[in-house]
Amino acid sequence: MDEKIVRPPSPMPRIGDKAPEFRAVTTQGDIHFPNDYRGRWAILFSHPADFTPVCTSEFMTFASREEQYREANCELVGLSVDGLYSHIAWLRTIKEKIEYRGMKDVEVNFPLIEDITMEVAHKYGMIQPGEDSTKAVRAVFFIDPHGIIRTIIYYPLSLGRNFDEIYRVLIALQTADKFSVATPADWNPGDEVIVPPAGSCGVAKDRMENTDEDVHCYDWFFCTKKIGKEEVLDAILKKEEHFH
């Protein structure tokens, strides 16, 4: 009797790690990830299966907003453990037959990875046996232009993702990098940002005495400043810099 081949568990990728490298067949041709995306942000996201309703709603939403992500120098890459021909048939069905929440004739132009062997899904910790041993959970990996994982979000099979939140995370990460700040709870462009903590007693004293008019301190360790929405978006949404 043949012994069952058991795949050894892969270490879960972590924030700050280099994104695990792979080559794959996709609906848009072969890719080498993340190398093909150097200099751009990438969102790698998985879904459980083709021809399923939650996944259909998500792909329609991502495809309808793809240009919004591209303007923020970000490319989308999808994955499931289905085969290439299943992917193609499903995406054609979405375009030709599905109308949902005002979206119709939706064409998915970003690559959808074929991962029948589940090699990529295992590399990225997308297969979680407590949820399902043969389908990928709804994972989202935000990978920066240097190929570093910056944020990871996992959802169970039953829960559709919040795409406003995914976009907000992307813009917040870029804002933190561009302006050397942090973003508080529920931050959106135009809200106050958090300035780095005071690095000395002198700086803390100056802040509490309001010597910097641009900074508002709630206490010595918690200070914010205003960066206007237009300033944030102008610094990030620059097509001519990103795509020339």
CATH class of 22-161: alpha beta
What is the DSSP track for the chain?
-PPPP-PPPPPPP-TTSBPPPEEEEEBTEEEEETGGGTTSEEEEEE-S-TT-HHHHHHHHHHHHTHHHHHHTTEEEEEEESS-HHHHHHHHHHHHHH--BTTB-S----S-EEE-TT-HHHHHTT--BTTTBSSS--EEEEEE-TTSBEEEEEEE-TT----HHHHHHHHHHHHHHHHHT-B--TT--TTSEEEPPPPSSHHHHHHHHTT--TTEEEEETTEEEEE--HHHHHHHH--HHHHH-
Each residue's pLDDT tens digit in the chain (244 positions)? 444 444 555 678 999 999 999 999 999 999 999 999 999 999 999 999 999 999 999 999 999 999 999 999 999 999 999 999 999 999 999 999 999 999 999 999 999 999 999 999 999 999 988 898 889 999 999 999 999 999 999 999 999 999 999 999 999 999 999 999 999 999 999 999 999 876 666 666 666 676 667 888 888 889 999 999 999 999 998 644 443 3
For residue 86 the two structure tokens come to: 């299943």
CATH architecture of 174-243: 2-Layer Sandwich (3.30)
The pLDDT assigned to 242 comes to 41
The pLDDT assigned to 178 comes to 96
Domain boundaries, the chain: 22-161, 174-243
* Residues noted as catalytic: 55
The pLDDT assigned to 40 comes to 97
The pLDDT assigned to 9 comes to 54
138 annotated to a ligand binding site: yes
